[in-house]
């Protein structure tokens, strides 16, 4: 067996940077495949071994497999492969995993690249693969990669809430950043200039209406839309938020579908 594929487990903070470097090395073009096994084996040593074994047997000597150690998503680079050739190998890989690991239930997103995609595009591909409910191989098109993304800043002290919102919004094509508190959020708004701020009111440092007021006083080209997502249900607080320019107010627990609709309405 050749040693064409090198499997590397990397933390999420390094995963996309390493992947970007790998894709950039192959100026002649490369196929990029994201894989996530939705079954109980996701991220297992057996699964990783089977993927590496499969890629090792492909012709050529530059294939690489990287895994996001946090989420179990794998990225496979196939330098020099056309879309048709990569799609054929993706079908074979899917069959290979189903045969060797019956519980694996592979989800695959595939793209043939002529230039290095942005980190946000790669994140969108990976997260759509991880959250896919279809076993069909998804071909990620240049049109999807070129689509303009609205920027949303998520502000919440709860890491679980931030992660859920980040994944769901990225799935819909939004660019996202996260802030733990009001002071960090104000710095990011000034530097990154998001289109919308999705924020809790209960924050460290500066919170509530003073935080809303500070957002609106920042020296930016265009003030972001503000959607409050909070546990506060007091009618007076809700009324004051709208009086102070908040675009929408959603209370926790919330319906993700309803929140999606309200964000779209604010942005469009």
Task: Give pLDDT tens digits for 27-46.
Answer: 567 899 999 988 755 557 88
According to DSSP, the residues that pair with 35 across neighbouring strands are: 74, 108
How much is the pLDDT for 12?
A: 52
Grade residue 236 by pLDDT with cuts at 50, 70 and 90: very high
Fold for the domain defined by 151-267: Rossmann fold (3.40.50)
Share of the chain above pLDDT 90, in %: 51
pLDDT at 4: 45
- Percent share of the chain, pLDDT over 70: 89
Tell me whether the CATH fold assigned to 6-146 matches the one assigned to 151-267: no
Higher pLDDT, 184 or 123: 184
Q: What is the pLDDT of residue 181?
A: 94
Assign 191 to helix, strand or coil. helix
Instruction: Give SS3 for 179.
Output: strand
The residue ranking higher by pLDDT, 255 or 58, is: 255
Domains of the chain, residue spans: 6-146, 151-267
Residue 124 has pLDDT above 60, yes or no: yes
What's the average model confidence in pLDDT over 129-142? Answer: 83
Comparing 14 with 198, which gets the higher pLDDT?
A: 198
Architecture of domain 6-146: 2-Layer Sandwich (3.30)
Would you state the pLDDT for residue 1? 37
Residue for token pair 């546990």: 231
- Mean pLDDT, the chain, rounded, equals 86
* 6 has a pLDDT exceeding 60: no
- Give the rounded distance of the alpha carbon of 17 from its chain centre: 14
Nearest to 266 by CA among 209, 198, 179, 193: 198
Please determine, for residue 142, whether its predicted confidence score (pLDDT) is greater than 70.
Answer: no
Q: Say what the pLDDT of residue 158 is.
A: 95
Q: Which of 28-32, 222-226, 248-252 has the lowest mean pLDDT?
A: 28-32
Amino acid 147: pLDDT: 60
Residue 175's DSSP bridge partners are: 151
Q: Indicate if the pLDDT at residue 146 is higher than 90.
A: no
pLDDT the model gives residue 144: 67
Query: Of all residues in the chain, what percent are helix, strand and coil, respectively (each to 5)?
Result: 45, 20, 35
């Amino acid at each position: 067996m050749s040693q064409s594929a090198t499997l590397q487990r990397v933390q999420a903070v390094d995963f996309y940077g390493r992947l970007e470097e790998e894709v950039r090395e192959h100026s002649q073009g490369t196929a990029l495949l994201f894989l996530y096994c939705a079954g109980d084996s996701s991220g297992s040593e057996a699964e990783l071994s089977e993927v590496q074994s499969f890629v090792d047997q492909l012709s050529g000597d530059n294939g690489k497999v990287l895994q996001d150690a946090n989420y179990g998503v794998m990225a496979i680079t196939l330098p020099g492969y056309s879309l048709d050739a990569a799609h054929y190998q993706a079908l074979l890989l899917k069959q290979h995993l189903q045969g060797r690991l019956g519980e694996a239930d592979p989800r695959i997103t595939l793209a043939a690249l002529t230039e290095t995609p942005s980190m946000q595009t790669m994140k969108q591909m990976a997260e759509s693969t991880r959250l896919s409910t279809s076993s069909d191989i998804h071909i990620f098109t240049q049109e999807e990669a070129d689509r303009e993304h609205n920027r949303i800043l998520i502000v919440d002290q709860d890491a679980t809430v931030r992660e859920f919102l980040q994944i769901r919004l990225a799935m819909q094509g939004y660019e996202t950043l996260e802030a733990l508190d009001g002071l960090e959020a104000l710095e990011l708004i000034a530097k990154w200039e998001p289109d919308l701020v999705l924020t809790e009111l209960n924050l460290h440092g500066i919170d509530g209406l003073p935080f809303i007021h500070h957002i609106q006083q920042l020296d930016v080209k265009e003030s972001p839309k503000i959607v409050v997502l909070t546990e506060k249900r007091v009618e007076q607080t809700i009324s004051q938020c709208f009086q102070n320019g908040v675009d929408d107010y959603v209370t926790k627990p919330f319906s993700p579908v309803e929140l999606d609709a309200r964000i779209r309405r604010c942005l469009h």
